[in-house]
Structure formats: structure tokens, C-alpha cells
Structure 1
């Protein structure tokens, strides 16, 4: 890792309060950008050198990344990382048009599919306490709309549980979400079954060896379960959060209320779920209407 990319990542974590996932992705983008400039210019890259970056350099970098198979969405994220890096380094980012990205509509799953997914993952666990843990985590995603990172960042300090839960989301923003009895019961059943002591300053959800549970473990379990249950490839842990939002909207939830529950900074991020609900209605219409 170059010192510049390392310092940039630390700035994102410490000063901008970005998540570790974002800092890691942006650091990798900065590394690739620095490596490209070193080859492109034939020399070391420091802050002073970054000041002479031109639009042609940026376009050449993006062209190379696209040649390596990058999609429009990934190229747009790469450009965003480079712009943020240049701004941090005090260099003006040249004006370059970002690749056009078509906004995808999240693919929710039906309530019975969400429950079946959680139960299957729990039943396939190597030990009963691990099954209780997996069930509790997946219920938090579907029953409370948490991101996987938010669920796994909970500590023992959330206990004892009440009717609501304080969740720290992106950019260290805290929101309050209702906790359904079924979700609360699942968490308490896991706590009772876990062989690891609950500490206020330690992760609530533990891995098999006692360390914090990794998001990758949850993703792999969901991937295996969806194949068995015949669910689509877009059935991921994050799809459970999409399902939470879509099902609430379909039952009359207000967009502003949904924005608060999901922890979206902008209402535009929440409005995508109106398209999801409309898409679901069209699917029902086409399946049921004799003229469709």
C-alpha cells in the first residue's frame, strides 16, 4: 500500500466517518490510480505530481479499467474514488463525464420466502447456537431493515432489548428502529444459547471461534440456501432489507417514514422502492389478467 492511499483511507475513516467497507474500496481505487500514473508518467507520484493531472490522464485510466472488463457502474464508482482522492490531496479533479449508469430496481422476495430462507440457513448450521445466531441475524435484516454491517456491528450494549433498537448506520448516523417481538425473541434465544459471554464492548454476534461474525459467512450461507430453495441469484442478505422496505411500502408506509427506518440520507434513495412496488403490481397483473 502506498503512503498516500493509506493516509487517504485513514482520512475517510477518521474525518469523514465512512465505513470500513467504503474506505477499503476507495483505498483500492486510489492504489490503482497511483499505479496507473506511475506507469503512465514513468515516475513516482506524490502530492505535487497529482496537481498536474489532466482530463486526458483520467480518461486514459478509465479506458484501461474498462478494457479490463469494468462495467459502467463499477467505472463510475472508480471515478468517484479517484475524485475523492484528488480532492483530499488538494488537486483539482479534471472534468470528466462519468459513465451512464442505469439505476437498477432492487429485487425483493416474498415474506414466506424470507422466512424459508432464514429457517433453512438456521437448520443447516453446524451447531444449534450457530443456527440460533443465523436466524436472529437474518430476522434483523428482514424484520428491522438493517444492513448486514449494521446488524453485525451491534454490541452487547444493546441488551436488555426493548421495543426499539438504536442502530448506527452509514457516516456514524444513529437511528431508532422498532423491534418486532419475533426479532427480539430470536436475539434473546441466540444470547441464551451462545457459548460466548456477552460483553457491552464486544460484538453481539460471534463467529464459531468467538470472534466477531464476518459478513462473508452470512453471504455464503444465504448463497447456499437460495440454491437449495430455488431462489434467484439476487437473493442476498441485502435483498432482505429491500424486502422489508417494499413490503412496508406496499402496506401503506409513508416514504418519509420509510426513509427514517432505512437510514437513507436522501429521499431519492428511498423513492426507488416505489418502482419496486409498481413492478410487483405489474407482475401480479400480468400473471392474473386474461388479456395480459
Structure 2
């Protein structure tokens, strides 16, 4: 089993992920990068480019050495878990294809992760970042400001992930008069989310101003040259808004999705309904947002209750 065999297996695995598992392009890119980094590590670790035989003959110590090297490079625990998941996926694929059993990869446990609570922004801040008026003084085309406001409105107003918002086709645009939107989330699962009139108005404003043709089967949100909009553009827009509004670094596009869930639960929404709106596979994931609201209530109690105030 040669290096060429490994390269062919790697490409067939990527094709399998794209056509059978139907993973998103971003996930495919991350998984491909993870495996290439692992192969590059093995080249240095063992003094020669790896082959399938080398992969199958690995010891758990070799895999742990890779994770340790990535940790020294400053990679956090969540990224390490994703890299290990990519390795396990490739190993399972090789086994199913009859190429051999890379048992060392399955034997290695991932790093323990501290479960950090999501950090939402306030309702006022969420409303401010999802309106183009907040950035009216910028030297940017008005349609670009309208576009960014529409995307951010979908994150806060409908609880979408950034990738979900950017994957909307023009024919499915939630324009004024639309009361719901069907989105495809993780694991290729679809869900229906309500569309608020304010959110539909933002999308309608963008569509009316966009100078580029928006074919029905093409992306709803486009970049400055008319191609698909990069997630990085929205992340940069959020960085600008953080500076303008004095928000912390935790105020990212994804924090708007956290804010959507936290504010709904704070107003008494049912936990199961919020789970369905977010597209969470497990209720335990959604329950993390109840801890945020509990922490807010305890803080208010400590600051206001007479018996909680220390004597002067």
C-alpha cells in the first residue's frame, strides 16, 4: 500500500463526505486541511511521506504526538477535537472500503473541553448591529450596508447560523409578506423558522438596492463583485460594529444566534420550541442558554436584594 494509495483513499473520502454525507463546503475544507496537517506531521515524525500501510500501523502514541504538536502550535481544545473527528472519519472510511483498520486513531481520547456558556449581547446592541443606520457614516455603498444588516438581522431575528444565512437561495428570500423560512442546518437537517416583519424588511431593502443580478437559483447574498458572499465579510462588519458600539470581542456574528435563544428564554419561551428553532439535535445543548438567564437573575439578585448587599 503506497503513498499513491493513500492519496486516492483521501480523495475518495472527500468525495464521500461531499456526495453521501453532504457536508458543507466549509466543513469539507476544514476536514481536508486537518488530514493534510496530519500527513505533514507524519512525514516529519517518521522521516518519510506516509502511506496507507504507515497509517494502519500507527500506534496511539503517534496520534497523541500529533495532538500534542498541534497544542504547542496554539490550537485550542475544540479545534483539536475537530481534527481528531476528521481522523476518525477517514479511518472508518478506510475500514469500510477494506483498506485496513487504523485502530490507533480510534483508541485515542480527545481533550477534555470546558463547557463555556455562550455570551449573548443585549437586546439593544443586537438591534443596533442589525440596522444599516448604525453604520451610516461609513464610506461604503448603501447596498453593502443594507446587505450586512439583512444578514445580521437573520442571525438575531431568526436564530440562523452564519453559514445558514449565506446559503439561502434568491428564490427563497424571506421578503416582506414572508412569515417563515426553511433552512438547512448541520447534518443536512431542515427546519422552519418564523420571519419577523422587521427581518423581512431588511432583506427586502437589500434586494431592492443590490446592483448585481440575483438569479433565482443563485445565492441571495453576494459580495462586492457579485459572487457568493464570504463569511469573513460579515465577521469584519461585526468587528466594525463592535468598535462603534463599544461591544466586547465576544460579540461575534454567532453571538447574535446565542442572543436570539437567550432573549426568547428570558421572555418565557418553551425550551423545546427554542431547540427546534435553533435546530439543535440535543435538548442538552439548548439547556445551556437557561444557565445564562439563571446567571443574569442571580446577578440581579446579588445587586438588588437587601439581604445580598454587604453592610457598609
Whether the TM-score (by the shorter chain) exceeds 0.5 is: yes
1:11 alignment counterpart: 16
- Structure 1 residues 159 and 115: CA distance shift in structure 2, 3 A: closer
Q: Contact (CA 8 Å) 1:125, 1:131: kept in 2 or not?
A: no
Q: Please give the secondary structure, in 1, of the residue aligned with 2:183.
A: strand
The equivalent of 2:148 in structure 1 is: 134
Please show how residues 122-201 of structure 1 align to structure 2 within 5 Å: 124=138, 126-159=140-173, 161=175, 162-201=178-217
The farther-off stretch of 41-50 and 198-207 is 41-50
8 Å Cα contact 2:182-2:190 kept in structure 1: yes
How far the C-alpha of 1:186 sits from its partner, in A, is: 1.2
TM norm structure 2? 0.87
Q: CA deviation at 1:41?
A: 2.4
Deviations 1:215-253 (A, max 9, x none): 100100101210221101000000000000001111111
| Mapped contact 1:53–1:94 kept (Cα < 8 A) | no
CA distance in 1, matches of 2:194, 2:263: 15
Q: RMSD of the alignment, in Å?
A: 2.0
Matches within 5 A, 1:15-54: 15-54=20-59
Instruction: Tell me the matched-pair count.
Output: 292
Structure 1, 59-68 or 209-218: larger mean CA deviation: 59-68
8 Å CA contact 2:40–2:49 kept in 1: the answer is no
Q: Does the residue aligned with 2:118 lie in a helix, a strand or coil?
A: coil
> Any gaps of 5 or more consecutive residues in structure 2?
1-5, 96-101
- Shift of residue 40 of structure 1? 2.2
1:98 to 67, 85, 110: 110
Q: Distance in 2 between matches of 1:30 and 1:15?
A: 19
8 Å CA contact 1:121–1:134 kept in 2: the answer is no
Partner of 1:65: 70
Larger mean Cα displacement after TM superposition, 46-55 or 220-229: 46-55
Q: Give yes or no for the alignment of 1:117 onto 2:133.
A: no
Q: 1:106/1:125 Cα in 2 relative to 1: closer, same or farther (>3 Å)? A: farther
